[in-house]
Amino acid sequence: MRIVRAKDYNDMSRKAANIISAQVIMKPDCVLGLATGSTPIGTYAQLVEWYKKGDLDFSGITTVNLDEYKGLTKDNDQSYYYFMNDNLFSKVNVNPERTFLPDGTEPDSDKACADYNKIIADVGGIDLQLLGLGHNGHIGFNEPADTFEAETHCVDLTESTIKANQRFFASIDDVPKQAYTMGIKTIMQAKKVLVVVSGEDKAAIIKEAFFGPITPRVQASILQLHSDVTIVADEAALSCLK
């Protein structure tokens, strides 16, 4: 596990974008596992900037996202499809047919999850998985639990996650209560994992996840067992570590 210390959010974003750029340059037909949430927005913005300068070419890549809310359509501005399109896909030359997320509009959870597992298998697995870190240690929507779920599954979001997401919706009743998420085995099978973390509110969980016991109560703690994890975190997020 490598920890890259960044000065602040912008520095974290640039450093993370550098790592993703290196992956795309080294393997132009790579599979990127992508995340939504507020943390990677600056990383995507930096990638877009470098693309516009002519420094990056995304035409050969495939992307698979971690998760999607169940019940939200692609044109809902809170869907993760919308987020990805808004922050990255519509701004670079990625082939839209090579961008994948779980299908939030599929009401049959078993089918949605089986379809997504097949997509991930068909693209040949993930070269680099980008992750954010939830305040409760979740990665994707793998919430604190008694076990680690292996593959794509439908989750009931916890109260704390629903509350954290409330800021994006008109009222708490509009926040989706379920999501489809990639499982922990799939994440662990990514060749490389890049975790971006910013802000003092993540300082306690970063310490717990990466220096505490490995437990499904803190799902990100499993990453301690991955052989190629890079955490890019700003000073505020690292403030509980020496």
Q: Quick one: which of 13, 23, 39, 129 contacts ligand F6R (CB under 6 A)? A: 39
Among positions 9, 20, 32, 36, the unique one binding ligand F6R when judged by CB under 6 A: 36
Q: Which of 33, 102, 104, 132 binds ligand F6R (CB under 6 A)?
A: 132
The structure tokens listed for 33 are: 């596992």
Q: Which is nearer to ligand F6R, 72 or 133 (CB)?
A: 133
Compute how many other C-beta atoms are within 10 angstroms of the C-beta atom of residue 215. Answer: 16
Residue from 68, 103, 127, 143 carrying the catalytic annotation: 143
DSSP-assigned letters across all residues of 77-102: TTSHHHHHHHHTGGGS---GGGEE--
Catalytic residue from among 117, 136, 142, 165: 136
Name which of 38 and 59 has its Cβ closer to ligand F6R. Answer: 38
Q: Which of 2, 3, 36 is nearest to 238 (CA)?
A: 3
Chosen residue from 66, 184, 205, 229 binding ligand F6R by CB under 6 A: 66
Residues 169-198 that bind ligand F6R (CB under 6 A): none
Catalytic residue among 67, 127, 149, 234: 67
**Active-site residue flag, 200:** no
Establish whether 151 is a catalytic residue. Answer: no
| String of contacts with ligand F6R for each residue 136-165, x by CB under 6 A | --xxxx------------------------
SS3 call for 14: helix
Distance CA(72)–CA(89), nearest Å, equals: 19
Among this protein's residues, is 115 annotated catalytic?
no
**Least CB distance from residue 54 to ligand F6R, whole Å?**
29
Q: How many other C-beta atoms are found inside a 10 Å radius of the C-beta of residue 239?
A: 15
Minimum distance from CB of 130 to ligand F6R (Å)?
Answer: 9
| Strands ordered across the beta sheet of 192-197 | 2-6, 229-234, 192-197, 128-132, 31-34, 62-65, 99-100
Binding residue for ligand F6R, selected from 20, 35, 203, 237, defined by CB under 6 A: 35
Distance from C-alpha of 116 to C-alpha of 121, rounded to nearest angstrom: 9
By three-state DSSP, how is residue 139 classified? strand
Query: For this structure, is 138 an active site residue?
Result: yes
Length of the chain: 242
CA 74 to chain centre: 18
Residues involved in catalysis: 67, 136, 138, 143
Which residues lie near ligand F6R (CB under 6 A)? 35-39, 66-67, 132-134, 138-141
